[in-house]
Amino acid sequence: MSSEIIQGVVAPFDRDNIDTDQIIPTEYLKSIKKFGFGDYLFDGWRYLDKGLLGMTSSQREINIDFILNQPSFQNSQILLARDNFGCGSSREHAVWALRDFGFKAVIASSFGDIFYNNCFKNQVLPVQLSKENVNILFELSAQSPQDISINLASKELTVGSDLLIPFNVDDNLLNRIIHNLDDVDITMKDKGSIEAFELNYSQKRPWLFK
């Protein structure tokens, strides 16, 4: 699934500090699988009833006011939020839920550190923009649903034909998404370095190796 362009309507979710407990409540962390979390994304806001692992969206009481339940955004692949998105717990299930729902990118003015790292392991691009630019996207979205195109190679985001916003992201991290690379496979190429380090280190700190 190599992809250099992420394109589609952006779902504007106007909140700060959306934590990983909101992205996926603890109830659903009991799964021992890595897929199948899409139905539980934003569970507490998206539904009016309390769910259980194994239930699907169609068995739930939908909160029609919630942004992702509105017809324009039900198939959105890009999420827009404000400050500190993904703060809180380290649960990668939060990224799995966003991915399984269909999100390929999340735009925010800042991210929780652990969440940010987890995104790159799962083909979800976190796009950090200035507060001003995030504000512009929210203002445009308030007028009408906005189509956004994110070019991973050029690190640019375009809205319509006249707004272009560049963004920063580490090239190595970006490559993991563009080429769908697995971290363990990459690091195993440096196996020799790890072995050499460990040999030296175990002599320096012998009490750690008993």
- Binding residue (CB under 8 A) for another protein from 30, 56, 154, 166: 30
In this structure, the number of other CB atoms found within 10 A of the CB of residue 2 comes to 9
CA–CA separation, 140 and 99 (whole Å): 25
CA atoms within 13 A of residue 161's CA, in its CB half-sphere: 0
List 56, 74, 75, 113, residue binding another protein (CB under 8 A): 113
- 48 or 164, CB closer to another protein? 48
Q: Does the protein bind another protein through residue 179 (CB under 8 A)?
A: no
Task: Provide the pairing of β-strand 78-80 with 147-151.
Answer: unpaired
The region of 63-71, 72-80, 153-161, 190-198 touching another protein under the rule CB under 8 A is 190-198
Q: Is 187 in the site for another protein (CB under 8 A)?
A: yes
| 42 touches 22 (CB < 8 A) | yes
Q: Which is nearer to another protein, 58 or 189 (CB)?
A: 189
Among 1, 153, 199, 210, binds another protein (CB under 8 A): 210
Among 34, 72, 160, 164, binds another protein (CB under 8 A): 34
Nearest to 107 by CA among 87, 135, 88: 135
Q: Does 170 bind another protein (CB under 8 A)?
A: yes
Residue written as tokens 């050499």?
A: 196
- Distance CA(167)–CA(36), nearest Å, equals 31
The least distance separating another protein from the CB of residue 150, rounded to whole angstroms, comes to 20
